[in-house]
Homo-oligomer: A and B are copies of this chain.
Amino acid sequence: MIAVNDAQTKHLFDNRYGTGQSTIDGIIRATNVLLAGKRFVISGYGWVGRGVALRAKGMGSHVIVTETDPVRAVEAVMDGYEVLPMETAAKVGDIFCTATGDKSVIRREHMEQMKDGAILANTGHFNVEIDIPALKSLASETREARAFVDEFTLADGRRLYLLGDGRLINLAAAEGHPAIVMDMSFANQALSAEYAIQHAAELERRVYPVPEEIDKEIARLKLETMGIEVDVLTEEQAKYLASWDEGT
């Protein structure tokens, strides 16, 4: 088995750039909200979270990151984002987007603190990142405000907006990944399948990473279609790198 999802040309591009753009796209299509000037809370700073944060910042939002992993949290801080616990972020955020792969990231106690008009979306794994049953139980009234936007009116009159039933917003309200990103992911699958067949004899029954040469070949083809040339190591340079690796 070859772990195609871990290839550089998969997770770097598909998860970061593809989901980054299509999540923003999904939120805008669903709500037509102006991102400039909004406090955009992204939960989870993995490849998807990094991509969404980068694009929200690029659209002019003030981005707030919530994390549980301290290494990722420091990275988010160093990238210039505000890092807050969800308890605090809940009070100030205008838009919330989960990207953790975990469940119950946005819970009842957070919803109880949110501002009137807060928007909730998910671009992680499943529709359990936002505790939807809690949201329903808090609401005294529910209606569809527009396509893909459910309005929940709480007892005190505040309204929270859930996008796409808490399912992946880039698939629910937009068109998922642009073709140009999926091409690299599919190429990974195709070339990895070919590799598995060609090396069937020597491969053991375990999970292999995508061979580095497949990653490089896909990237090389990608650059070619974009009309972009890169440098080639001179013989002297290749030799120097090799010897340096050997520690001289």
Contacts and interface: CB of A to CB of B under 8 A. Distances in A.
Interface stretch (A75-83, A149-157, A160-168, A197-205): A75-83
Interface in A45-77: 54-55, 57-63, 66-71, 73-75, 77
Contacts of A33: 178, 180
Given A37-B77, A71-B9, A180-B34, A115 B227 contact: yes
A175 B84 CA distance: 32
A1 B77 CA distance: 31
Contacts of A232: 68
Contact of A13 (B73, B78, B177, B223): B78
A77 B216 contact: no
A246 interface: no
A179 to B, nearest CB: 7
A220 interface: yes
A12 to B, nearest CB: 6
Q: How many copies does the complex hold?
A: 4
Interface string A190-231: 000000000000000000000000011001101100111111
Interface of A: 8-9, 12-13, 16-18, 20-21, 24-25, 28-29, 32-37, 54-55, 57-63, 66-71, 73-75, 77-86, 88, 101-105, 115, 125, 128, 174-175, 177-181, 215-216, 219-220, 222-223, 226-234, 236-237, 240-241, 244
26 contacts: A9-B74, A12-B75, A21-B28, A21-B34, A21-B36, A33-B178, A33-B180, A34-B177, A34-B178, A34-B180, A34-B181, A36-B79, A55-B59, A58-B60, A62-B80, A62-B82, A69-B216, A70-B222, A73-B223, A73-B230, A77-B223, A82-B82, A88-B229, A102-B244, A103-B240, A105-B237
